Structure 1
Amino acid sequence: MFNNIDIESDFKYSPKDKLNQSNTIISQLLYYLNKYKKFVFAIVSLVLISLFTNFPLIPHLRLTSPKVVIILAANEGGGVLKWKGAQEWSIERSSIANKKDYAQRHGYDLTIKDMTLKKRYSHEWRESWEKVDILKQAFRQNPNAEWFWWLDLHTYIMEPQLSLEEHIINNLNNLTTRQLNDFNPLNIKLDAPYVDYENNPIDLVITQDCGGFNLGSFLIRKSKWSETLLDVWWDPVFYEQMHMSWEHKEQDALETLYELLPWVRERIAFLPLRKINSFPQGACSEQSDDPRYFYNEDDRDFVVNMAGCDWGRDCWNEMEHYKAVSKKLQTPWYKFW
């Protein structure tokens, strides 16, 4: 009855055969890896360099493409370039955690840039221009993002429940001004030709404080215009010719570009300082009675920028104070007090 059945055919691929077959495949794979090891090593190196350093040789791999990328300037890790004390570590941890929580809540991307690397610019007199170079890198690393939000380390997001879209981006035209008619602390003279603001979108959103343009917290949209602006802003003419004259370096460079070039002005808009950049008491001390500058708890200002706290103030105490205020404001029972 069973004489016609080929028993061996039912066990054509025995466990031993399967093991041999697997070994053959592995041997072939190892052969090709060894044959093309230089090519494989180069590809792996490029991927690692792109993903884990400031050199974006290929776009970072992502499952999604966030609309907003937050860039936080930090000194993550310290090291031989700057030994940090306990309070400095605490400030950094608090600032980074604040931005990580905010980015995660709203589906944004967060990239942390180690500012100790700024020493590599010293021989070119552009030690304060690293902000521009980092923005150029971020554009390349995030080709599908639309907006980039730069934040200095000594900033704290006080109202994390507010998305950037809700707070600013979706209502840019109503929240911003395009000219300096109402607030011009530097008395910038604009005698250049007419600029058509109405037919040009807003690509750079900044604020002004008592010293002029403030770049501690600002938004820039990725566009051909912004890429061109960064290229011009990074031009050697500025840092080679003017590095001894401009006290605020990259800020002074942007102010000069704004004043001299109509095509730069046409896509820059100004937010009130407290919309994205509120100061603590002690900053802009000569304007201590002007409510346009300083954080107001009752108005629930969005961000505090402790600008200049390391020049005669206490950065750690200020950070701890605003952390506590933000925590209090987010508690459900606060509104009943």
Structure 2
Amino acid sequence: MHYAYPPRKSSNPPPYLPRSSRIPTIRRSHLRTIALFGAAIIVLIWLFSGGSKHSKRHAITGKPAVVVVTVFDDNDDSVYHKNIRENRVQYAEKHGYGTLLAKASDYDLGGSPASWAKVPAVRHAITKYPDCKYIWYLDQNAFIMNPHLKVEDYVMGASKLESSMLKDLPVVPPDSIIKTFMHLRGEDVEFVLSQDKEGLASGSFVIKNGEWAKFFLDTWFDPLYRSYNFQKAETHALEHIVQWHPTILSKLAIIPQRIINAYSSNDHGEQYKDGDIAVLFARCPGTGDKSCAKESERFSQQWRTSFSRA
């Protein structure tokens, strides 16, 4: 016969017999011993497998202090580009900096515009110079003009950043509701760039080497963002992630444009003045009377004279 429910217990259960207090004590003792033994085994496996090496972060020595990175168009050996290469090398040699002068084709961009190459190029610089403290990315259409200014002091010095960073500023002008942090300290800044009249200006920026930099660059270069086909490619992608990722915004400092990103004319942003660290030929075409090469001619002799006197 099957019961729909289990049979009721007897209404007269046997008298309660207390268990010996020794049994749980022995069990707890055994469990504790087993747990400690297991933990010891796990630690030994971790140590012998090199886990401690993987978890230990690389201690950055700051040598060189800065790496200057520029990405050039492919198959262009013009006098103009040779001048730019010479400009970068002379500046780096004066301060003991490293350089990474690459071509866009050096990197697999997955069909994205060549301007995206700046992101893996900076990541490449970190791999090539793991002990550098900062990376200064500067577009090919630019000259470094003031050989006396050192990036680690003039741009990235904590006190310098404290006085120059623009706080509570719309990230994308003129009316973005996302603004730079009010209470960010100079010593906490990892990424520095400026704005021009249209938004963030990614033609010149400085990033501090470290785990955050790797995370940021990998995020920026994510295939998802490259697939969005932003009108201004990597620059619009940067504006997007800065506004939507507080982890990135919290390490960002926007500084006045002329500190690292002055333009050769005031059509698109603040114009270069003598003494500025660099001049960029913004929005210039590749050919014609207003080409980048033509625009550079009025600055070519000037930078050479400045460097010869340094």
TM above 0.5:
yes
Aligned residue type for 1:114: K
Match of 1:262 among 230, 239, 246: 246
User: What SS is found at the alignment partner of 2:263?
Assistant: coil
After superposition, where does 1:66-105 map in structure 2 within 5 Å? 66-75=64-73, 78=75, 84=76, 89-105=78-94
Tell me by how many angstroms 1:127 deviates: 4.2
Task: State how far apart, in whole Å, the 2-side matches of 1:281 and 1:238 are.
Answer: 31
Conservation of the 8 A alpha-carbon contact between 1:220 and 1:226: yes
Q: Per the alignment, do residues 253 and 90 of structure 1 end up closer, same or farther by CA in structure 2, a change over 3 Å counting? A: same
After superposition, where does 1:216-295 map in structure 2 within 5 Å? 216-240=203-227, 242-243=228-229, 246-281=230-265, 283-284=267-268, 293-295=270-272
Task: State how far apart, in whole Å, the 1-side matches of 2:66 and 2:179 are.
Answer: 35
Please name the residue that 1:26 is paired with. none
Aligned residue type for 1:256: H
Conservation of the 8 A alpha-carbon contact between 1:280 and 1:294: yes
Please name the residue that 1:301 is paired with. 276
User: What SS is found at the alignment partner of 2:83?
Assistant: helix
Deviations 1:115-150 (A, max 9, x none): 2446x4253x45432221222222122111110000
Task: State how far apart, in whole Å, the 1-side matches of 2:200 and 2:82 are.
Answer: 28
Please name the residue that 1:153 is paired with. 140
Conservation of the 8 A alpha-carbon contact between 2:72 and 2:102: yes
Matched-pair identity in %: 24
Task: State how far apart, in whole Å, the 1-side matches of 2:127 and 2:133 are.
Answer: 12
Please name the residue that 1:166 is paired with. 153
Aligned residue type for 2:147: P
Where does the alignment leave 5 or more consecutive residues of structure 1 unmatched? 1-63, 79-83, 285-291, 333-337
Task: State how far apart, in whole Å, the 1-side matches of 2:136 and 2:216 are.
Answer: 16
Deviations 1:262-303 (A, max 9, x none): 11111000111111111112642xxxxxxx610123xx2221
Tell me by how many angstroms 1:258 deviates: 1.3
Question: What TM-score do you get using the length of structure 2 for normalisation?
Answer: 0.70
User: What SS is found at the alignment partner of 1:121?
Assistant: coil
Task: State how far apart, in whole Å, the 1-side matches of 2:182 and 2:237 are.
Answer: 20
Please name the residue that 1:111 is paired with. 100
Deviations 1:134-176 (A, max 9, x none): 2222212211111000011111011112222332222222222
Deviations 1:165-194 (A, max 9, x none): 33222222222224315x8525322289x8
Matched, 1:322 2:299: yes
Please name the residue that 1:206 is paired with. 193
Max radius of gyration: which structure? 2
Conservation of the 8 A alpha-carbon contact between 2:146 and 2:303: yes
Task: State how far apart, in whole Å, the 2-side matches of 1:126 and 1:310 are.
Answer: 16
User: What SS is found at the alignment partner of 1:99?
Assistant: helix
Aligned residue type for 1:233: W
Q: Per the alignment, do residues 256 and 186 of structure 1 end up closer, same or farther by CA in structure 2, a change over 3 Å counting? A: farther
Aligned residue type for 1:310: P
Match of 1:121 among 105, 109, 112: 109
Deviations 1:227-278 (A, max 9, x none): 11112112222122x11xx111111111111111211111000111111111
Conservation of the 8 A alpha-carbon contact between 1:71 and 1:111: yes
Aligned residue type for 1:179: D
After superposition, where does 1:128-139 map in structure 2 within 5 Å? 128-139=115-126
Task: State how far apart, in whole Å, the 1-side matches of 2:105 and 2:215 are.
Answer: 26
Question: What TM-score do you get using the length of structure 1 for normalisation?
Answer: 0.65
Where does the alignment leave 5 or more consecutive residues of structure 2 unmatched? 1-61
Conservation of the 8 A alpha-carbon contact between 1:200 and 1:267: no
After superposition, where does 1:48-67 map in structure 2 within 5 Å? 65-67=63-65
Q: Per the alignment, do residues 169 and 196 of structure 1 end up closer, same or farther by CA in structure 2, a change over 3 Å counting? A: closer
Q: Per the alignment, do residues 196 and 330 of structure 1 end up closer, same or farther by CA in structure 2, a change over 3 Å counting? A: closer
Aligned residue type for 1:69: V
Q: Per the alignment, do residues 186 and 137 of structure 1 end up closer, same or farther by CA in structure 2, a change over 3 Å counting? A: farther
